[in-house]
Every structure is written in structure tokens, then in C-alpha cells.
A and B are shown apart, each in its own frame.
Chain A
Amino acid sequence: MYYDIYLIAMYKRTIFAVAAVMVALMLICGCTGTTTDPTPAEKQQLRIATTTSLYDTKLLDHLTPIFEEKYNAEVLIVSAGTGKALEYGQRGDVDVMMVHDRAREDTFLADGYGTDRRVFAYNYFVLVGPESDPAGVKGMQPEAAFTAIRENGMAGNASVIFVSRGDASGTHSKEQAIWKAAGFNYSTEVKGSGDWYQEAGTGMGATLEMANEKEAYTLSDIGTYLAYKGDLDLVTLVDEGDILLNVYSAMQINPEKFPDTNSTVAKDWVNFLISEDIQKEIASFGVDQYGQPLFYAAQNDWEKIGVNEAEVKDPVA
């Protein structure tokens, strides 16, 4: 008899446990947006993979509520660096990529993974480093400054360290382009050539923190640097040179390649970025806090930054 009663109790408990799991499941399923949504009209979800600079500066935190309100959408942002963002796009894991590496974007578009690229902002890269400037690069052209840092590092000047993003991001690409322009083969003469060259393998903000700890030089976009400047002892050493131009663009993944992509809301986002109001928001973002803009609007400067007019003005159809 004892066992029967016990078993019934066990069954009840099992049923309770199963019910609890089902409730938990329903809660979790709600998260994926596949089941009912508490809001009256179904909210569209937009998944964005972004370069870390747009996220670390909080520009996207500033823009997404405006978009969500206007389009009744929910924006999900994965901040990962241009290389990873393109990788996510290639795998079909996001709807929109926000990146800053023209060369790789061109390949990405040519391979048919992305479509409808629009340029929405630009700024400049800066070489930052310790105030003492042990390699003496202040005011140099970027190529000459890189050469001086490498020479000091190779000569064993232990106070000269360069921290690289080392994460296949847009900034890392730019850094490699500068090494190349300075006449070095990146993979044989720079990467792994000595203790002076260190790869962080992380986002822009974290890399700046690391360079700060090590009193090292690093290449940063001006936006992230300004946003972090308050916590850093690093100063701007090189900020002039055509090669330092930094152009941000957004594109959606090709709906022909991934048919169930949320293409409509992806287009809305790209068009939102190049709309006049948001261009103004981008240009004024951070001015009150940092005394200068972190990004410039691309719309009226397309000639200056070397892109065609359609890329900054024509809404995606």
C-alpha cells in the first residue's frame, strides 16, 4: 500500500515538474518571437551585427529607440567588429551589417551575400599613445609614425609597444593598410616580429583600455577614443593623413540568399540611417558631451569621402 500512495505522490510531483517546465518553455519561446507577443501589433525584429565603434560610443543606443518607436520594431544588436559582423552576415544570422571596411564590403557584395550598401557616417582614425611618446611620432604622417614605432620596437626599446586590435575588424584592416603603405609586409615584418607588437583580439574600447594599461600606442577611430578619453591617459599623436579616413556603411544580407530574412525592416533601417533627420542626429551626437562630434554625416560629403552620390542619398527600394 505504501508504495501505491508514494507512487501517486511521485506522479503528482512529476506532473507538476512537467507543468513547470512547460511554463518555462513558453516563457522562453516568447523570447524568440515565434509565439504570441504581448504588444497588440506584432513587433518586427531586426538583427544587426555592428562594428564595435558604433556600439561602444553609444551612438546605436541613441538611434535605436527612435527607430523602434517609428517602425514598431525591436532592434537586437550584436556588437562584434567588422570581420565577425560580415561572418554573421555570410552565415545568415543577422539582417543588417554595420561595418567600416570598404575593401571587404566590396568582396562581400560581389560574392552576393550583401546588397544595397549605403554610407551613413564617417570620421577619422587617430594614432593614440602615451604622452611621453617614446617613439617620438607626434605630428608625423601615419606611415612615418608607424615606421618609427616599428624601428624603435625592433631595436629593443622596451617602452615602445603597439597594441593591435588583432581581431580582423575594420580598424585592424586599416592598421594593416597603413603598415602596407609604410612599405612593410604585415604578416612577415609586423605581426609576430617582436614583443613590441601585441594583438589584443578584442573590441575598440577594450583595446584602448589595454593600450592605456600598457602605456602603448594603438590605432583607434576618433569616436571611440573620444568616448573613452575621460578614463584614459592616452593622447592623440597622429590625426592627419588621407589614409586615416574611416567610412561607415550599412547593408542588408541578400534576401535572395536567405529568403526568410526580415528584408522589409532591414531596408527601413538602412533608409532610416540615411534620412535627413538621422543624418543630423549622427552629426550632432556627442557634441554636448565631448565638445566635438564623434561622427560626421556622410550625406553632403560624399565627394570628400570618395563614394558615389547614390550611396549616401538614394533610399533602398
Chain B
Amino acid sequence: MYEIIEGFLEAFRLIITFDPDVIAIAARSIVISLTATIFATLIAVPLGAAINFGTFPGKKNLVNLIQTLYSLPTVIVGLLIFLLISRVGPFGFLRLLFTPTAMVIAQTVLILPIMTGLTISALSGVDPVIRDTLRSLGATRLQFLVNILKEARFAILAAVAVGFGRAISEVGAAILVGGNIAASSFASSTRVLTTAISLETSMGNISQSIALGIVLLIIALGVNLAITTVQHR
């Protein structure tokens, strides 16, 4: 019990004094996961729209597959990306293993299914009256898409938030392809909140772990607040 209380006190001290290590790790987590979320959004939204509005055989099975991949285990994504970008792997010449770029790739792959699936749900949830009205007014294909996307923007935003949340909270892929490196420069390091918590706990630095955990929760809270604010505007 003493350990937990002392851990929390020390954690608050680390946060309030803007401990440079904690800040750097938190900032790196945000940069990496945000970049992954942007890439995933750019792929998932058009892909989700194409699947939702397209008619092709096996569509139902495809949607089922995407929904199954919601729970894609992070270590499996990590392993897959590791094998692809390791020097002896097909993309080894890029020398990406143990870089933040590798982590962005892994997180993008990880959150792609859930963001695509939630985009499909968002688009299919748009009031059919709006769809029929747009069609009857003779909207072109693009006009139709743009307006449906506009209608569904809050639900899509929620999909983006879910994607970001999954990216920043995962640890399996981050440690396999990132290597949890603490280098002297910000940009070469691959230590993020989750991998740092894992390491610090194993090293018995409980207060550092608690501080990083609190920061992770604050980030999650911040993202949620931002989304709610936008939705209620």
C-alpha cells in the first residue's frame, strides 16, 4: 500500500515539474500514434466508403472479416511487420526496424480494420431519406459521397478517435518493431508510454510507471474531450 501511495506522490511530482523524460516519452507517443491515425484515416475512410456503397460479391463476408480483425492482436501485427522490415526480410533494404517509422507502419496496420469497419457503420447509419433525396435531386456520384460523408462526419470522427486510442495504448507491436530505444535524440528514440511503463515496472521504478500511466490516461481523456466538444458544437 505504501508503495502505491508513494508511487502516486512521486508520479504527481514528475508530472507537475514537467520531468523532461516523461514529457519526451509522452510527446513521442502522441507524434507516432497521431501520424499512424492520419495515415489510417486517409486509407480507411475512402476504403470504407467504397465497401459501403459498392456492390460486389462477397461483400458481407468482407465486412465480417473486417469486423473480426477489430481484435487483431497487436503482437501479431508486430511480428508481421518485423518479418517484413527486418534486414533479411523483403523490405529490409529500407532499414526501418527499430525506428519510429516502423512503429507508425505497425500502428497504421493495426487500426486500419477497426477504422474501416467503423466508417462502414457510420456511412450505413446515415438516414436513408437523405440518400434518397440526394439521388432524386440528381446528385453526381462525387456530390453524393461528399454529402453522405458530411452527414456521417461525427461518427467518422469517433472512428478516428477509437483508432488513435488503440494506437497509443498498444504495446505489443511497439516493442517488437520499435525496440524500446532511449537514444540521446528525440527522433531516434522509440520509447513510448506503453513500452516505457512495461520496462520501468520490470525495473522496479514504480513511480515512473505510475506517472507515465497517468499521462497516458490524460491523453486519452484529452482526445475524448476534444471529440465531444466538436460533436456538440
Identify the A interface with B (CB < 8 A): 3, 6-7, 10, 17, 20-21, 24-25, 27-34, 43, 45, 47, 56, 64-65, 68, 74-80, 91-94, 202-203, 205-206, 209, 228, 231, 258, 260
Contacts and interface: CB of A to CB of B under 8 A. Distances in A.
A228 B204 contact: yes
B109 to A, nearest CB: 15
Q: In this complex, which of B31, B34, B98 has the most chain A Cβ atoms within 10 angstroms of its Cβ?
A: B98
B188 A31 contact: yes
B87 interface: yes
Contacts of A56: 203
B86 A93 contact: yes
A68 B184 contact: yes
Contacts of B95: 32, 34, 260
B202 A32 contact: no
A77 B182 contact: yes
Given A32-B99, A68-B184, A76-B181, A6 B203 contact: no
B87 A91 contact: yes
B65 interface: no
B180 to A, nearest CB: 7
B8 interface: no
Contact of B204 (A47, A231, A258): A231
Contacts of A258: 87
B100 A24 contact: no
A75 B38 contact: no
A8 B123 CA distance: 22
Given A20-B38, A21-B38, A78-B179, A209 B202 contact: yes
B49 to A, nearest CB: 14
B47 to A, nearest CB: 16
Contacts of A205: 202-204
A91 B203 contact: no
A68 B188 CA distance: 14
